[in-house]
Structure 1
Amino acid sequence: MSTPLPPPGLPVTFRPTVTRAVLLGLGAALFVVLTAGALLTGSFSTGDRITFTTAGLVVFGVLALLARPKVVATEDGVTVVNMATTRKLAWAQIVRVNLRAGDPWVRLDLSDGTTLSAMGIQPGIAKQQAITHARALRALAEAHGTGRSAT
Protein backbone atom coordinates (compact mmCIF):
# COMPACT_ATOMS: atom_id res chain seq x y z
CA MET A 1 0.00 0.00 0.00
CA SER A 2 1.32 3.44 -0.89
CA THR A 3 1.93 6.20 1.59
CA PRO A 4 -0.85 8.82 1.55
CA LEU A 5 0.16 12.07 -0.08
CA PRO A 6 -0.31 15.38 1.69
CA PRO A 7 -3.27 17.33 0.28
CA PRO A 8 -2.48 19.99 -2.33
CA GLY A 9 -2.88 23.67 -1.60
CA LEU A 10 -6.27 25.26 -2.13
CA PRO A 11 -7.87 26.36 -4.37
CA VAL A 12 -7.16 23.63 -6.92
CA THR A 13 -8.96 22.69 -10.13
CA PHE A 14 -8.97 19.16 -11.48
CA ARG A 15 -9.87 18.65 -15.13
CA PRO A 16 -9.03 16.14 -17.86
CA THR A 17 -6.59 18.41 -19.69
CA VAL A 18 -5.64 16.03 -22.51
CA THR A 19 -9.26 15.13 -23.23
CA ARG A 20 -10.21 18.81 -23.09
CA ALA A 21 -7.42 19.79 -25.51
CA VAL A 22 -8.40 17.04 -27.96
CA LEU A 23 -12.10 17.95 -27.87
CA LEU A 24 -11.59 21.71 -28.21
CA GLY A 25 -8.91 21.27 -30.87
CA LEU A 26 -11.11 18.93 -32.89
CA GLY A 27 -14.09 21.26 -32.53
CA ALA A 28 -12.10 24.27 -33.71
CA ALA A 29 -10.63 22.31 -36.63
CA LEU A 30 -14.05 21.09 -37.76
CA PHE A 31 -15.48 24.60 -37.51
CA VAL A 32 -12.61 26.00 -39.62
CA VAL A 33 -12.91 23.22 -42.23
CA LEU A 34 -16.69 23.55 -42.54
CA THR A 35 -16.56 27.34 -42.69
CA ALA A 36 -13.68 27.40 -45.18
CA GLY A 37 -15.42 24.80 -47.33
CA ALA A 38 -18.61 26.83 -47.32
CA LEU A 39 -16.86 30.07 -48.22
CA LEU A 40 -14.44 28.70 -50.80
CA THR A 41 -16.92 26.58 -52.75
CA GLY A 42 -18.45 28.70 -55.48
CA SER A 43 -21.43 26.42 -56.12
CA PHE A 44 -22.97 26.98 -52.66
CA SER A 45 -25.80 29.45 -52.17
CA THR A 46 -25.81 31.90 -49.28
CA GLY A 47 -28.18 29.58 -47.39
CA ASP A 48 -25.82 26.63 -47.89
CA ARG A 49 -22.92 28.67 -46.57
CA ILE A 50 -24.87 29.73 -43.51
CA THR A 51 -25.92 26.11 -42.92
CA PHE A 52 -22.35 24.81 -43.12
CA THR A 53 -21.05 27.54 -40.81
CA THR A 54 -23.91 26.94 -38.36
CA ALA A 55 -23.23 23.19 -38.41
CA GLY A 56 -19.59 23.94 -37.58
CA LEU A 57 -20.68 26.09 -34.64
CA VAL A 58 -23.06 23.39 -33.38
CA VAL A 59 -20.35 20.72 -33.57
CA PHE A 60 -17.91 23.00 -31.76
CA GLY A 61 -20.57 23.75 -29.11
CA VAL A 62 -21.26 20.06 -28.47
CA LEU A 63 -17.55 19.27 -28.17
CA ALA A 64 -17.05 22.28 -25.87
CA LEU A 65 -19.88 20.95 -23.69
CA LEU A 66 -18.13 17.58 -23.52
CA ALA A 67 -14.92 19.41 -22.50
CA ARG A 68 -16.65 21.35 -19.68
CA PRO A 69 -16.30 18.96 -16.69
CA LYS A 70 -14.04 19.96 -13.82
CA VAL A 71 -13.79 19.66 -10.06
CA VAL A 72 -12.84 22.80 -8.12
CA ALA A 73 -11.76 22.41 -4.49
CA THR A 74 -11.65 25.48 -2.25
CA GLU A 75 -11.56 26.08 1.50
CA ASP A 76 -15.38 26.14 1.50
CA GLY A 77 -15.87 22.83 -0.31
CA VAL A 78 -15.99 21.28 -3.75
CA THR A 79 -17.76 22.42 -6.90
CA VAL A 80 -18.43 19.60 -9.35
CA VAL A 81 -19.06 20.83 -12.90
CA ASN A 82 -20.34 18.09 -15.19
CA MET A 83 -21.56 18.53 -18.76
CA ALA A 84 -24.97 19.99 -17.96
CA THR A 85 -24.96 20.47 -14.18
CA THR A 86 -22.98 22.20 -11.46
CA ARG A 87 -23.19 21.19 -7.83
CA LYS A 88 -21.52 22.80 -4.82
CA LEU A 89 -20.71 20.59 -1.86
CA ALA A 90 -19.41 21.36 1.61
CA TRP A 91 -16.45 19.21 2.63
CA ALA A 92 -18.57 17.52 5.31
CA GLN A 93 -20.96 16.24 2.62
CA ILE A 94 -18.23 14.12 0.98
CA VAL A 95 -17.96 10.77 2.74
CA ARG A 96 -15.72 8.95 0.24
CA VAL A 97 -13.86 9.60 -3.02
CA ASN A 98 -13.87 6.54 -5.31
CA LEU A 99 -11.99 5.77 -8.53
CA ARG A 100 -11.94 2.03 -9.06
CA ALA A 101 -10.51 0.11 -11.99
CA GLY A 102 -12.89 0.43 -14.93
CA ASP A 103 -14.74 3.47 -13.59
CA PRO A 104 -15.26 6.18 -16.24
CA TRP A 105 -14.76 8.94 -13.65
CA VAL A 106 -14.56 9.63 -9.93
CA ARG A 107 -17.64 9.00 -7.84
CA LEU A 108 -18.27 10.87 -4.62
CA ASP A 109 -20.23 9.11 -1.89
CA LEU A 110 -22.22 11.79 -0.10
CA SER A 111 -23.49 12.03 3.47
CA ASP A 112 -27.13 11.87 2.32
CA GLY A 113 -26.54 8.35 0.93
CA THR A 114 -26.35 9.37 -2.73
CA THR A 115 -23.46 9.20 -5.17
CA LEU A 116 -22.31 12.07 -7.38
CA SER A 117 -20.27 11.51 -10.52
CA ALA A 118 -17.35 13.93 -10.79
CA MET A 119 -16.62 13.81 -14.51
CA GLY A 120 -13.74 16.27 -14.15
CA ILE A 121 -11.50 13.41 -13.02
CA GLN A 122 -11.64 10.72 -15.69
CA PRO A 123 -9.01 8.15 -16.63
CA GLY A 124 -9.96 7.96 -20.33
CA ILE A 125 -6.88 9.32 -22.12
CA ALA A 126 -4.64 10.26 -19.15
CA LYS A 127 -5.07 7.45 -16.62
CA GLN A 128 -2.12 8.37 -14.40
CA GLN A 129 -3.26 12.01 -14.18
CA ALA A 130 -6.74 10.85 -13.11
CA ILE A 131 -5.30 8.59 -10.43
CA THR A 132 -3.13 11.44 -9.11
CA HIS A 133 -6.10 13.83 -9.11
CA ALA A 134 -8.37 11.29 -7.39
CA ARG A 135 -5.77 10.72 -4.67
CA ALA A 136 -5.35 14.48 -4.19
CA LEU A 137 -9.13 15.00 -3.91
CA ARG A 138 -9.33 12.06 -1.49
CA ALA A 139 -6.57 13.61 0.66
CA LEU A 140 -8.38 16.95 0.64
CA ALA A 141 -11.67 15.31 1.64
CA GLU A 142 -9.96 13.49 4.48
CA ALA A 143 -8.18 16.65 5.66
CA HIS A 144 -11.17 19.02 5.41
CA GLY A 145 -14.21 16.86 6.02
CA THR A 146 -15.37 13.48 7.13
CA GLY A 147 -14.01 11.64 4.09
CA ARG A 148 -12.67 8.10 4.23
CA SER A 149 -10.60 6.51 1.51
CA ALA A 150 -11.92 3.61 -0.55
CA THR A 151 -9.86 0.48 -0.99
Structure 2
Amino acid sequence: MTQPPALPVTFRPLRTRIVLLGVGLAVFAVITVVALVLGTLSPGERISFIFTGLLFLGVLALLSRPRVDAGTEGVTVVNLTSRRRLEWAEIVGVNLRAGDPWVFLDLADGTSLPALGIQPGIGKAQAIADARTLRTLVERYGTGQS
Protein backbone atom coordinates (compact mmCIF):
# COMPACT_ATOMS: atom_id res chain seq x y z
CA MET A 1 0.00 0.00 0.00
CA THR A 2 1.29 3.47 -0.89
CA GLN A 3 1.95 6.02 1.81
CA PRO A 4 -1.09 8.36 2.07
CA PRO A 5 -0.58 12.13 1.86
CA ALA A 6 -0.65 14.34 4.92
CA LEU A 7 -4.12 15.37 6.03
CA PRO A 8 -6.08 17.52 5.42
CA VAL A 9 -6.26 17.21 1.64
CA THR A 10 -8.83 18.57 -0.81
CA PHE A 11 -9.71 16.99 -4.14
CA ARG A 12 -11.42 19.11 -6.77
CA PRO A 13 -11.41 19.29 -10.57
CA LEU A 14 -9.19 22.38 -10.79
CA ARG A 15 -9.10 22.74 -14.59
CA THR A 16 -12.86 22.38 -14.85
CA ARG A 17 -13.31 24.95 -12.09
CA ILE A 18 -11.01 27.43 -13.85
CA VAL A 19 -12.85 27.00 -17.15
CA LEU A 20 -16.31 27.33 -15.58
CA LEU A 21 -15.48 30.43 -13.53
CA GLY A 22 -13.49 32.00 -16.37
CA VAL A 23 -16.33 31.55 -18.85
CA GLY A 24 -18.86 32.77 -16.29
CA LEU A 25 -16.91 35.95 -15.57
CA ALA A 26 -16.28 36.59 -19.28
CA VAL A 27 -19.95 36.18 -20.20
CA PHE A 28 -21.04 38.38 -17.30
CA ALA A 29 -18.57 41.08 -18.36
CA VAL A 30 -19.68 40.96 -22.01
CA ILE A 31 -23.39 41.07 -21.16
CA THR A 32 -22.82 43.95 -18.74
CA VAL A 33 -20.82 45.94 -21.29
CA VAL A 34 -23.47 45.33 -23.95
CA ALA A 35 -26.21 46.44 -21.54
CA LEU A 36 -24.35 49.65 -20.71
CA VAL A 37 -23.25 50.48 -24.27
CA LEU A 38 -26.58 50.00 -26.05
CA GLY A 39 -28.23 53.38 -25.89
CA THR A 40 -31.65 52.09 -26.92
CA LEU A 41 -32.20 50.09 -23.74
CA SER A 42 -34.32 51.37 -20.89
CA PRO A 43 -32.95 51.16 -17.33
CA GLY A 44 -35.17 48.12 -16.66
CA GLU A 45 -33.84 46.34 -19.73
CA ARG A 46 -30.25 47.08 -18.69
CA ILE A 47 -30.92 45.68 -15.25
CA SER A 48 -32.47 42.54 -16.77
CA PHE A 49 -29.38 42.08 -18.99
CA ILE A 50 -27.06 42.38 -16.01
CA PHE A 51 -29.29 40.10 -13.91
CA THR A 52 -29.16 37.48 -16.70
CA GLY A 53 -25.36 37.69 -16.71
CA LEU A 54 -25.29 37.27 -12.92
CA LEU A 55 -27.65 34.31 -13.14
CA PHE A 56 -25.42 32.65 -15.75
CA LEU A 57 -22.33 33.29 -13.58
CA GLY A 58 -24.17 31.88 -10.55
CA VAL A 59 -25.06 28.65 -12.33
CA LEU A 60 -21.46 28.16 -13.49
CA ALA A 61 -20.18 28.94 -9.97
CA LEU A 62 -22.56 26.28 -8.63
CA LEU A 63 -21.21 23.78 -11.17
CA SER A 64 -17.66 24.57 -9.99
CA ARG A 65 -18.50 23.89 -6.30
CA PRO A 66 -17.87 20.12 -5.98
CA ARG A 67 -14.95 18.94 -3.87
CA VAL A 68 -13.93 16.18 -1.50
CA ASP A 69 -12.23 17.22 1.74
CA ALA A 70 -10.36 14.51 3.63
CA GLY A 71 -9.27 15.21 7.19
CA THR A 72 -8.30 13.29 10.29
CA GLU A 73 -11.94 12.89 11.36
CA GLY A 74 -13.30 11.75 7.99
CA VAL A 75 -14.39 12.95 4.57
CA THR A 76 -16.71 15.77 3.55
CA VAL A 77 -18.26 15.39 0.10
CA VAL A 78 -19.50 18.68 -1.35
CA ASN A 79 -21.62 18.17 -4.47
CA LEU A 80 -23.67 20.73 -6.42
CA THR A 81 -26.33 21.42 -3.81
CA SER A 82 -25.46 19.10 -0.94
CA ARG A 83 -22.75 18.48 1.61
CA ARG A 84 -22.29 15.21 3.47
CA ARG A 85 -19.86 14.44 6.27
CA LEU A 86 -18.65 10.84 6.56
CA GLU A 87 -16.53 9.11 9.16
CA TRP A 88 -13.66 7.11 7.69
CA ALA A 89 -15.25 3.84 8.82
CA GLU A 90 -18.42 4.62 6.84
CA ILE A 91 -16.53 4.39 3.53
CA VAL A 92 -15.82 0.85 2.38
CA GLY A 93 -14.79 1.53 -1.22
CA VAL A 94 -13.73 4.18 -3.72
CA ASN A 95 -14.66 3.47 -7.34
CA LEU A 96 -13.83 5.21 -10.60
CA ARG A 97 -14.58 2.79 -13.41
CA ALA A 98 -14.04 3.45 -17.11
CA GLY A 99 -16.87 5.66 -18.32
CA ASP A 100 -17.89 6.88 -14.85
CA PRO A 101 -18.51 10.64 -14.76
CA TRP A 102 -17.08 10.87 -11.21
CA VAL A 103 -15.98 8.80 -8.22
CA PHE A 104 -18.52 6.78 -6.28
CA LEU A 105 -18.02 6.03 -2.59
CA ASP A 106 -19.39 2.68 -1.43
CA LEU A 107 -20.74 3.14 2.09
CA ALA A 108 -21.07 0.70 4.98
CA ASP A 109 -24.88 0.98 4.89
CA GLY A 110 -24.93 -0.54 1.38
CA THR A 111 -25.52 2.70 -0.48
CA SER A 112 -23.28 4.57 -2.87
CA LEU A 113 -22.49 8.29 -2.76
CA PRO A 114 -21.33 10.19 -5.84
CA ALA A 115 -18.31 12.39 -5.13
CA LEU A 116 -18.32 14.97 -7.92
CA GLY A 117 -15.10 16.51 -6.63
CA ILE A 118 -13.12 13.79 -8.41
CA GLN A 119 -14.18 13.65 -12.05
CA PRO A 120 -12.23 12.69 -15.15
CA GLY A 121 -13.78 15.36 -17.41
CA ILE A 122 -10.85 17.57 -18.49
CA GLY A 123 -8.15 16.01 -16.26
CA LYS A 124 -8.52 12.23 -16.54
CA ALA A 125 -5.01 11.40 -15.27
CA GLN A 126 -5.48 13.70 -12.26
CA ALA A 127 -8.87 12.14 -11.45
CA ILE A 128 -7.37 8.65 -11.55
CA ALA A 129 -4.52 9.73 -9.27
CA ASP A 130 -6.95 11.45 -6.87
CA ALA A 131 -9.19 8.35 -6.75
CA ARG A 132 -6.17 6.18 -5.93
CA THR A 133 -5.06 8.61 -3.23
CA LEU A 134 -8.53 8.67 -1.66
CA ARG A 135 -8.66 4.86 -1.84
CA THR A 136 -5.30 4.71 -0.02
CA LEU A 137 -6.60 7.10 2.65
CA VAL A 138 -9.76 4.99 3.12
CA GLU A 139 -7.64 1.84 3.49
CA ARG A 140 -5.42 3.59 6.01
CA TYR A 141 -7.94 5.46 8.16
CA GLY A 142 -11.07 3.39 7.60
CA THR A 143 -9.65 0.48 9.58
CA GLY A 144 -9.12 2.52 12.72
CA GLN A 145 -5.33 2.79 12.27
CA SER A 146 -3.65 6.17 12.40
Q: Given the two structures, how large is their TM-score scaled by the length of structure 2?
A: 0.97
**Alignment-derived partner of residue 93 in structure 2:** 96
Distance (whole Å) between structure 1 residues aligned to residue 20 and residue 60 of structure 2? 6
1:128 aligns with 2:128: no
Letter of the 2:105 counterpart? L
Aligned residue for 1:12?
9
- Percent of pairs with identical residues: 62
Q: Which residue of 2 aligns with 1:141?
A: 138
Cα distance in structure 2, aligned partners of 1:48 and 1:85 = 34
Superposed CA RMSD in Å reads 0.6
The AA in structure 1 aligned to 2:80 is M
Which runs of no fewer than 5 residues in structure 2 stay unpaired?
Answer: none
> Aligned to 1:32, which of 26, 29, 34?
29
TM-score normalised by structure 1 residue count: 0.93
Deviations 1:88-144 (A, max 9, x none): 000000000000110000000000000000000000000000001000000000000
Distance 2:79 2:95 in 1: 17
Find runs of 4+ consecutive structure 1 residues off by over 4 angstroms: none
Q: CA deviation at 1:5?
A: 2.7
Tell me, in whole angstroms, the C-alpha distance in 1 between the residues paired with 2:10 and 2:88: 15
> Residue 80 of structure 1 aligns with which residue?
77
> What amino acid is the match of 1:6?
Q
Distance 1:8 1:61 in 2: 33
SS in 2 for 1:92: helix
How big is each residue's C-alpha offset from its partner over 1:68-103, in whole Å with a ceiling of 9 and x where there is no partner? 000000000000000000000000000000001100
CA shift for structure 1 position 145: 0.3
Distance 2:64 2:84 in 1: 17
Q: How far apart in 1 are the matches of 2:29 and 2:36? A: 10
Unaligned runs of 5+ in 1: 147-151
